[in-house]
């Protein structure tokens, strides 16, 4: 823990922002109100100069300046925003000078960088305008701006109506069971067992919620863009249970044959069987994930995945032979005891299979994960190694015909890097794009499912979370369903509602 003293009285949201920026340089920091306990003291201040807001930052003999927009012609809210950003700039300057580290993402700590790009594009700005704005306002590197442009262009090629798709919705269905829970995971994932009827009770409730939400969508003539079964691992349940679930979805959702994409995560290879693949084929679902994360058996054991590398390979080819034509695989940069050599091995194994898409994640220390709680137990890659692994992923994907089509970032992400989804052209996931860019409402159904209700007129986003624990979900899903319908009524005009016969 590195303690930094910043004299002065600043709003709490500013302090949080300062902490995020400091964390880009040190593993964990605390912004202190007392200089006695601080290891570093940084002075941040403003003054006015020729009608311009000038922010100044000092650390020992280091000084950084950054000029923002003029004082005049801005309201108080905009002024606070400019002040906060100006201080973030000088804090970044000072920390870069102090540590010798350069932050390619600048002051940007949000998880959806391409939203900024799309927002500027929709405002009619040229690429050169966008580039200058991202450099000036956020200090992004040319490399990251170019990545954002490539991703945005690919998204528009995949979904030509991206700017108007908010009239539709996508649906996420969460199934919270896995064979075991991975050490880095904070998703709703409970080791599956059949004691006390937990799985049966959950599935009974899930069927009801699907029917209720489907009835509302039918009554309002809502078009569904995509459906994503996540978790957990949706293929943890039995084949007959999967079949019944898809039957309920097909019976309940409006025009299911017109849904553009249905994805089922089969991320744990140890859950994939011929019977389950036959169920997917029956319902016309051929987009799945078979996630290795690593091709080193020792790593899989260390992170709590109870399957082998060979099982990943075998289940990939089984899925391919049984008609799964769009398979995604995930790799994670920075897993315990892995460096560039191990990552090269993972890429070499992936090259033999050529999945339609490959998502390259950078390890993130999520607060509630086993790995974060016991950091000393897990030795992970340092920043230069993580950066080298990401650079290798970029060159490998280009050499193998993959293009980046979505990206996102996380707090406490190793090396201040990013997560990038690559695919063969034409094999991109529609759901991944719409949820990352927040262009339409996502209705979350099931355990731990997050719903996002997006008002297309104002852009306001309202979130609602179903309980993560299966028992809590079973007890409260009816209340949660009613609340989500109430929020949907606010977002979608009632004039779209189809009159129901009396």
Instruction: Kindly report, residue by residue over 129-151, the tens digit of the pLDDT.
Output: 999 999 999 999 999 999 999 99
Per the CB < 8 A criterion, the answer to whether 336 and 297 are in contact is: no
Distance CA(330)–CA(85), nearest Å, equals 35
Give the pLDDT confidence of 209-223 residue by residue, as tens digits: 999 999 999 999 999
pLDDT of residue 303: 75
CA distance 44 to 64: 10
User: Which one, of 208, 274, 271, lies nearest residue 245 by Cα?
Assistant: 208
With 80 as the cut, is the pLDDT of residue 396 above it?
yes
Q: Which of 402, 377, 205 is nearest to 303 (CA)?
A: 377
DSSP tag of 271: G
Residue 66: pLDDT band (50, 70, 90) is: confident
The answer to whether the CB of 57 falls within 8 A of the CB of 7 is no
Count of Cβ atoms closer than 10 Å to residue 305 Cβ: 27
C-alpha of 125 from chain center: 26
Omega of the bond leading into 198 within 30 degrees of 0 (cis) = no
Whole-number pLDDT of residue 191? 60
Question: Residue 491's closest CA among 228, 160, 222?
Answer: 222
Query: How does the average pLDDT of the chain come out, rounded?
Result: 88
User: pLDDT for 298-344, tens place per residue?
Assistant: 888 887 777 789 999 999 999 999 999 999 999 988 888 888 999 99
Task: Read off the tokens for 232.
Answer: 């957990």
- Integer Cα distance of 425 and 427 in angstroms: 6
Reference 331, options 320, 348, 343, 315; nearest CA is: 343
Asked whether 176 and 190 are in contact (CB, 8 A), the reply is: yes
Which residues, other chains included, contact 232 with Cβ-Cβ below 8 Å and sequence gap of 6+?
174, 175, 176, 177, 178, 187, 188, 189, 190, 447, 448
Contact assessment for residue 109 and residue 20, using Cβ atoms and an 8 Å cutoff: yes
| Token digits of residue 324 | 């799964």
* pLDDT given for residue 398 in this prediction: 97
Asked if the model's pLDDT at residue 180 lies above 70, the reply is no
Separation CA 322–CA 272 (nearest Å)? 12
Which residue, among 85, 88, 119, has the nearest Cα to 19 in the 3D structure? 88
Q: Is the pLDDT of residue 368 over 50?
A: no
Domain boundaries, the chain: 2-99, 113-158, 169-489
CA 459 to chain centre: 19
**Residues in the chain, overall count:** 502
CATH classification for the domain delimited by 169-489, as one of 3.40.710.10, 3.30.2130.30, 3.40.50.720, 3.80.30.20: 3.80.30.20
Of the pLDDT bands very low, low, confident and very high (cuts 50, 70, 90), residue 192 is low
pLDDT bracket for residue 285 (50, 70, 90): very high
User: Residue 183: pLDDT above 80?
Assistant: no
Q: Domain 2-99: give its CATH code.
A: 3.30.160
Query: What is d(CA 246, CA 214) in angstroms, rounded to the nearest whole number?
Result: 13
Instruction: Identify the band that residue 60 occupies on the pLDDT scale cut at 50, 70 and 90.
Output: confident
DSSP letter string over 29-42? EEEES-SSS-SEE-
Mean of the pLDDT values across residues 74-86? 84
């Amino acid at each position: 823990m590195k303690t930094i003293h910043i004299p002065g009285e600043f709003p709490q949201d500013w302090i949080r922002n300062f902490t995020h920026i400091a964390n880009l340089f040190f593993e964990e920091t605390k912004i202190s109100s007392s200089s006695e306990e601080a290891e570093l003291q940084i002075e941040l201040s403003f003054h006015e100069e020729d009608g311009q807001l000038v922010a100044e930052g000092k650390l020992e003999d280091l000084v950084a300046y950054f000029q923002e927009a003029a004082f005049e012609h801005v309201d108080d809210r905009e002024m606070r925003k400019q002040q906060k950003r100006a201080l973030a700039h000088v804090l970044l300057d000072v920390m870069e000078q102090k540590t010798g580290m350069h932050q390619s993402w600048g002051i940007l700590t949000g998880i959806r960088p391409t939203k900024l790009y799309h927002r500027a594009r929709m405002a009619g700005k040229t690429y050169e305008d966008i580039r200058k704005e991202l450099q000036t306002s956020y200090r992004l590197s040319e490399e990251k701006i170019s990545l954002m442009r490539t991703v945005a262009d690919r998204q528009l090629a995949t979904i030509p109506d991206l700017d108007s798709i908010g009239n539709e919705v996508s649906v996420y269905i969460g199934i919270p069971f896995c064979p075991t829970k991975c050490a880095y995971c904070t998703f709703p994932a409970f080791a599956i067992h059949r004691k006390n009827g937990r799985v049966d009770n959950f599935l009974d409730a899930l069927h009801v919620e699907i029917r209720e939400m489907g009835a509302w969508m039918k009554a309002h003539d809502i078009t569904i863009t995509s459906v994503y079964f996540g978790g957990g691992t949706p293929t943890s349940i039995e084949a007959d249970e999967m079949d019944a679930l898809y039957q309920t979805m097909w019976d309940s959702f409006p025009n299911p044959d017109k849904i553009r994409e249905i994805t089922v995560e089969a991320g744990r290879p140890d859950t994939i069987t011929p019977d389950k693949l036959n169920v997917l084929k029956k319902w016309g679902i051929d987009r799945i994930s078979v996630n290795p994360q690593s091709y080193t058996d020792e790593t899989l054991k260390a992170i709590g995945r109870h399957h082998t590398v060979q099982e990943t390979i075998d289940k990939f080819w089984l899925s391919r032979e049984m008609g799964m034509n769009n398979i995604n695989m995930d790799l994670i940069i920075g897993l315990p005891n892995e460096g560039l050599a191990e990552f090269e091995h993972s890429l070499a194994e992936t090259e033999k299979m050529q999945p339609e898409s490959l998502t390259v994640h950078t390890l993130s220390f999520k607060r509630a994960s086993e790995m974060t709680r016991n950091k000393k137990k897990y030795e992970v890659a340092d920043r230069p190694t993580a950066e080298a692994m990401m650079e290798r992923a970029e060159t490998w994907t280009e050499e193998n015909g993959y293009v980046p089509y979505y990206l996102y970032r996380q707090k406490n992400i190793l090396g201040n890097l990013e997560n990038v989804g690559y695919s063969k052209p034409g094999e991109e996931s529609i759901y991944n794009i719409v949820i990352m860019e927040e262009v339409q409402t996502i209705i979350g159904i099931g355990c731990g499912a997050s719903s996002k209700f997006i008002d297309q007129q104002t852009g306001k986003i309202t979130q609602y979370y179903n309980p993560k624990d299966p028992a809590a979900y079973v007890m409260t899903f009816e209340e949660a369903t009613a609340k989500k319908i109430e929020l949907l009524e606010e977002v979608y005009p009632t004039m779209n509602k189809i009159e129901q016969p009396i």
